[in-house]
Amino acid sequence: MKQENSKRSKKSEITNKKSDLEFDDEPKVANKDESTEDEGNEEDFESGDMSEDEFNPSKEDLEEEEMPTEQDVKLALLDPGDEPGIVDDPVRMYLHEIGRVLLLTAEDEKILAKKMEAGKRIKEIKESYIDQNGRAPSATEILLCMLRDLSNLMNILHLLQLELNITPGNTFKENISDNALIDSISNEIDQRLTHNIAQKTGQPIPDIEQSIINLYLNMSLLPKDFLNAIDDNTDSADIEQLTTDQQFIDSISIYEDKFQSYIDQLIKESNKSEKHLIEANLRLVVSVAKKHIGRGMPLLDLLQEGNMGLIRAVEKFDYHRGYKFSTYATWWIRQAITRAIADQARTIRIPVHMVETINKLLSVSRNLSQELGREPTPKEIGDELEISPEKVREIIKVSQLPISLEAPIGEEEDSHLGDFIEDQNALPPPDAASRQLLKEQIEDVLDSLTPRERRVLQLRFGLEDGRSRTLEEVGREFNVTRERIRQIEAKALRKLRHPTRSRKLKDYLE
């Protein structure tokens, strides 16, 4: 057992294994060790009203959180003997499974992120090509697109060389194979550098950052067999024309199968790295979710919502920003959990912005209760929150949980709340009694008529089922004409108007 725990406590070593392809070149991974630890004050992230595309916390806002160990995960949850309703077999099984995945170091996360980034770049090129040409590109066409994009980014490359004091090469291949340049742009993006280039080009800083990332990916992903087909003396200005040169395209098309295997391997490694990064951080979800136990959602639901936030964090993670993945993912996980609580924890959903207001009010109310030694008044809470007492009462009313109609009432609990609520659709007892008496009197009066007359009136006025029939419908039932039914009806009504019968119904006339 000790040996097993010792193994789990060791840091994992992610090796960037070469694929089985007989390629001379693999995606380059910079060896520059640059790990940034962010410091700052973490704010309460309760509102969850930020859209997914806009959610991108700044480096100053992020505070690094330590990844919990397996022991931390177990201690984060209550003991099953103390609270049998909280931790059950599925939870223990889940914790056992996620505890088997070793933790990642900051360098491990960076290596996995680079593999994911390479796969995403290939997918972006494929999608762009399909939109423009209406079909999927071949592997050779994908590499040509990367070469064409690299040609369009040569201006950015020269500006980078100028800012980094790197001597420009004389040819295209010398420029894109500059290891000093690749090492400089492969890790965290230098904000000063992008700001200077943005000023010189007049482009927005986010566009410059993306151009630098694409430049690095294009430079590092083009295989040697592809680059060897380019003449060593080719100038950077001639690359755009080269991408449409049929002789050049024919010379690289003979490697189509090798290129396709290379592209497939990049995508496969990207998907594998994404899965590995998710699985290695599942215990982080447990660490965040356990802080939200008792807020209206079961633990397993909290874990599932947190896992959705973790997956989103993996999709959006950008290691070029300089912070660790666990620091970044914590915000996405917390957002997913708090949004789920706001949407699902209550029978009647409360808007997310109102949930934040309720949380602030409850927090202020608790603090005032400790200071005053009593429950604070709405005016005291309002003064603290700078809102009116009426608004405080309204928020308190909204924050109250709904009560079930099946809730027991009384000491013996032999009745329910629903028994004491008036049914707005039901008739008042006096009206119901009067209606029943009228029905009985009508039955007595109809009994004094012949069976045929009684039946005709019941059908014509819907005395049985509430649906009145036409003369033709009643005639079909008796196999007589409409006129004959009209005569029977008229005769029956004359009989009912006789004083001996009508006096029984006179009291019910309005």
* Per-domain residue ranges of the chain: 33-103+280-344, 109-270, 352-399, 438-508
The confidence score (pLDDT) of residue 169 equals 82
Find the helix packing angle between 89-98 and 282-289, rounded to 10°.
Answer: 140
Give yes or no for a contact between 8 and 106, defined as CB atoms under 8 angstroms apart. Answer: no
The confidence score (pLDDT) of residue 72 equals 52
The confidence score (pLDDT) of residue 391 equals 92
Contacts 24+ apart (CB under 8 A), 17-22: 19/262, 19/265, 19/269, 21/258, 21/261, 21/262, 21/265, 22/258
Report pTM.
0.62
- Looking at the domain 352-399, which fold is it? Arc Repressor Mutant, subunit A (1.10.10)
Quote the CA–CA distance of 454 and 496 in Å, as a whole number. 11
Query: Comparing 352-399 with 438-508, is the CATH topology the same?
Result: yes
Q: What is the pLDDT along the chain (510 residues), one digit of tens a residue?
A: 444 444 444 444 433 333 333 333 333 333 333 333 333 333 343 444 444 444 555 554 554 444 555 455 444 444 444 444 444 578 888 888 888 888 888 889 999 999 999 999 999 999 999 988 889 999 999 999 999 998 889 999 999 988 888 888 888 888 888 888 888 888 788 888 889 999 998 999 999 999 999 999 988 899 988 888 888 888 888 888 888 889 889 889 999 999 999 999 999 999 999 999 999 999 999 999 998 888 888 888 999 999 999 999 999 998 888 888 988 999 999 999 988 988 887 777 888 778 888 889 999 999 999 999 999 999 999 999 999 999 999 998 888 878 888 888 877 777 888 888 877 887 777 878 878 888 888 888 888 889 899 899 888 888 888 888 899 999 998 999 999 999 999 998 888 888 877 777 776 665
3-class DSSP assignment, residue 274: helix
Q: CATH second-level architecture of 438-508? A: Orthogonal Bundle (1.10)
Contacts 24+ apart (CB under 8 A), 486-490: 488/452, 488/453, 488/456, 489/456, 489/457, 489/460
CA 171 to chain centre: 48
Give yes or no for a contact between 360 and 385, defined as CB atoms under 8 angstroms apart. Answer: yes
**Residue 415 is inside which H or E element, if any?**
strand 415-416
In single-letter form, the type of residue at position 441 comes to Q
Q: What is the DSSP string of 363-393?
A: HHHHHHHHHHSSPPPHHHHHHHHTS-HHHHH
Q: What is the DSSP string of 31-42?
A: ----------PP
CA 6 to chain centre: 37
Question: Tokens for 200?
Answer: 């010189």
Give yes or no for a contact between 336 and 306, defined as CB atoms under 8 angstroms apart. Answer: yes
